[in-house]
Structure 1
Amino acid sequence: MNPELDLRDVYAASAGRLVARLYGMTGDYAEAQDAVQEAFARALTRPAGLRGMDNPEAWLYRVAMNIARSRHRRRMLFDRIARSGRLRGSDTAPPLSPDHVALVAALQRLPRATRETVVLHHIADLPVAAVATILGCSVESVKTRLVRGRRALAEHLRETEKEDTRA
């Protein structure tokens, strides 16, 4: 990376893509935005280290994913407590289209590695080689995950469609 490059330039170039990737992974746009913002906040604490990286966007993605995973774990714990009756849960998310809900639900049923690969390639529109670099795996692994992911998504969406026609 260019040592003259400012974190503001990195933000302008990659924040939108990072939010899109995280949104595909989490299914929650606000959570995706928060995780990306937190990743950039952490980058502010080490701007020289970020400038020295070959691919700062990949580092930011990994940090944002780790943040999203940690928040998910905390949310699951909170939900368990809320279901126990000790707290009341609240649903503050706006209503989503049935197609959107079905796609996000189908994505969530995929194994994590496959879901990350599908989101990066199909939602973030990254080439296979870039996905391999970000995920730290081979191009062949990415291609295999994509084939498996597309098959699984198609099956999950068919199941959802069948359930909808029965109801």
Structure 2
Amino acid sequence: MNPELDLRDVYAASAGRLVAQLYGMTGDFADAQDAVQEAFARALSRPAGLHGVDNPEAWLCRVAMNIARSRHRRRLLFDRIARSGRLRGSDTTPPLSPDHVALVAALQRLPRATRETVVLHHIADRPVAEVAAILGCSVETVKTRLVRGRRALAEQLGETDKENSRA
């Protein structure tokens, strides 16, 4: 990263995109915002750590994704406790348009790696090579996940359209 580049500029340019990407991956807008904010807080806590990074936004995306994954694992544990009857869970997802809800629901049914790949490429509009770098996999793996993800989404969203037309 260029030492002259201010983290405030990176935030202004990329925070919205990162939140949108994480929202597509997590299905929870508040969680997405929190993960991105925490990623920026981590960058602020050790600014020298970003100086060697070629693409600060990609680094921040990876950190935010790791934060979201950790939170997801903790949420699963919490949900198990809640289902045991010791606690009650709550739904914190804000109301959205039916199209957004259908897309996020379809994304949530994809395997995690496929969902992350599809969101980074199609929603975040990142090139395949950059998606591979962010996810730490090969370009061919990204391409395979994209094909599988598009196919699965087409089937899921097509079934939703058929069900809605019957009603």
Q: Is the 8 A contact 2:30 2:93 kept in 1?
A: no
Name the aligned partner's letter for residue 16 of structure 2: G
Q: Which runs of 5+ in 2 are unaligned?
A: none
Structure 2 match to 1:73: 73
- Normalised to the residue count of structure 1, the TM-score between the two structures is 0.89
Percent identity, aligned pairs only, is: 89
Q: Is the 8 A contact 1:120 1:131 kept in 2?
A: yes
Deviation at 1:95, TM superposition (A): 2.5
**Per-residue deviation, residues 78-107 of structure 1 (Å, max 9, x unmatched):** 122222221222334332333222211211
**Per-residue deviation, residues 96-150 of structure 1 (Å, max 9, x unmatched):** 3332222112111112221111101111112223222222333333222211111
Name the aligned partner's letter for residue 104 of structure 2: V
- Normalised to the residue count of structure 2, the TM-score between the two structures is 0.89
Name the aligned partner's letter for residue 12 of structure 2: A
| SS in structure 2 of the partner of residue 116 of structure 1 | helix
Deviation at 1:17, TM superposition (A): 1.4
Looking at structure 1, the residues matched to 79 and 152 of structure 2 have their Cα atoms a distance apart, in angstroms, of 28
Structure 1 match to 2:118: 118
Q: How many residues align?
A: 167
Structure 2 match to 1:39: 39
Q: Is the 8 A contact 1:128 1:143 kept in 2?
A: yes
Deviation at 1:163, TM superposition (A): 4.2
Name the aligned partner's letter for residue 160 of structure 1: T
Q: Does 1:62 align with 2:66?
A: no
Shift of the 83–54 alpha-carbon distance from structure 1 to 2, 3 Å rule, reads same
Q: Is the 8 A contact 2:28 2:92 kept in 1?
A: no
**Pairing 1:7-156 to 2, within 5 Å after superposition:** 7-156=7-156
Shift of the 164–85 alpha-carbon distance from structure 1 to 2, 3 Å rule, reads farther
Q: Which runs of 5+ in 1 are unaligned?
A: none
| SS in structure 2 of the partner of residue 67 of structure 1 | helix
Name the aligned partner's letter for residue 157 of structure 1: L
Name the aligned partner's letter for residue 141 of structure 1: T
Q: Is the 8 A contact 2:29 2:93 kept in 1?
A: no
Structure 1 window deviating more from structure 2 (31-40 vs 122-131): it is 122-131
Q: Is the 8 A contact 2:23 2:29 kept in 1?
A: yes
